[in-house]
Amino acid sequence: MKLLCFDCLDSTNSYLKQNYQELESLTFVETKEQTLGKGRLERKWQSEKGKNLLFSILLKDSCYFEKYKEISIVSAYSVIQVLEQYGLTNIGLKWPNDVYVNDSKICGILLESVSTNQMECLIVGIGINVNQKSFSKDLIHPATSLFNELNKEIELNQFKKDIYQQLITNYQKLVDKETFYEKIVRYDYLKDTEAYALINDEKKLVKIIKINNDYSLRIIVDNNECDIHSGEISFHI
Ligand code: BTN
């Protein structure tokens, strides 16, 4: 593992997209501040300087490429494991890979890839709210942080080490063909809920059944049961 630390970047994901050729697999890039932090669905990721954990991991080995769906959800599960070690409870994994605590978002993950003729790399970008105390009221989903949940400041450096270690451990287990499904579904936040989803630009009320064991999501929409594979959808409970 190689760690690159910056004070300010446009986005740790963009940095890896631009520099992946010179960097080795399992390079971690972190920054205290992002000027163009990216979220899923073309959204922005906002974070107060120096308060939170903002990083991306570069995966260049083909053993990861065929497992990108697992990489995405196992990354979220790794964050959950560390949050539990820090004493947080009532944690949910909102498909495909958001982490919620007490119904507010504490972590978002943006998975991107670079392909030419073939897949060149996967980039896992992770933002975790750690010591930030207040969040914009305009956010689509309400946000929280470890500080707000535990009412105490977290030592960011140690937290970072714990997160990195958990991710590396779980990625290795994935390569060794360990299955995480049973562990992950215990945190299925959307299971048995009704939520609004934007499908083909149309807002629809859907019933969510569960995360399937291929990590797609089973839903009922217009009385039809179907599985969604793409994460290009957002649910509002
Ligand atoms: C989301 O919930 O929409 C995903 C948010 C991902 C944010 C992280 S912060 C580090 C990395 N760099 C980015 O520009 N985005 C990801």
Cα 225 to middle of ligand 1, angstroms: 31
Report d(CA 199, CA 162) in Å as an integer.
Answer: 37
Instruction: For residues 29-34, give the mean pLDDT.
Output: 98
Classify 226 in phi/psi space as left (phi over 0), alpha (psi -120 to 50) or beta: beta
Cα 211 to middle of ligand 1, angstroms: 22
Residues contacting 158, CB < 8 A, separation 6+: none
Q: Among 119, 144, 122, which residue's Cα sits nearest to residue 134?
A: 144
Minimum-distance ligand 1 atom for the alpha carbon of 13: 12
Please state whether the predicted TM-score (pTM) of the whole model is above 0.85. Answer: yes
Cα 222 to middle of ligand 1, angstroms: 32
Contact (Cβ atoms closer than 8 angstroms) between residue 136 and residue 51: no
- According to the model, what pLDDT value does residue 231 have? 61
Question: Ligand 1 atom 11: the closest Cα is on which residue?
Answer: 125
Tell me the residue type at 123: I
pLDDT, tens only, 69-89: 899 999 999 999 999 999 999
Residue 152, classed as helix, strand or coil, is coil
Helix residue ranges per DSSP H, the chain: 12-19, 62-65, 68-85, 146-150, 156-175, 181-185
pLDDT band at 155 (very low <50, low <70, confident <90, very high): very high
Instruction: For residues 97-107, give the mean pLDDT.
Output: 97
Which residues form the pocket of ligand 1, taking CB atoms under 6 Å from any ligand atom? 11-13, 34, 37-40, 43, 45, 54-56, 98, 108-110, 125-127
Token pair for 14: 């963009």
Choosing from 28, 49, 54 the residue with most ligand 1 atoms within 8 A of its CB, the one to mutate for a pocket test is: 54
Token pair for 208: 């969510």
DSSP 167: H
> Count of residues for the chain?
237
Cα 39 to middle of ligand 1, angstroms: 5
Residue with tokens 């003729």: 117
Cα 68 to middle of ligand 1, angstroms: 17
Give me the percent of the chain exceeding a pLDDT of 70. 98
Cα 72 to middle of ligand 1, angstroms: 12
- According to the model, what pLDDT value does residue 232 have? 58
Cα 38 to middle of ligand 1, angstroms: 5
Contact (Cβ atoms closer than 8 angstroms) between residue 54 and residue 30: yes
Report d(CA 117, CA 69) in Å as an integer.
Answer: 21
pLDDT, tens only, 192-202: 999 988 777 78
Choosing from 6, 38, 58 the residue with most ligand 1 atoms within 8 A of its CB, the one to mutate for a pocket test is: 38
Minimum-distance ligand 1 atom for the alpha carbon of 12: 12
- Average pLDDT in the chain: 94
Q: Does residue 93 have a pLDDT over 90?
A: yes
Report d(CA 62, CA 57) in Å as an integer.
Answer: 15
Report d(CA 209, CA 95) in Å as an integer.
Answer: 12
pLDDT band at 230 (very low <50, low <70, confident <90, very high): confident
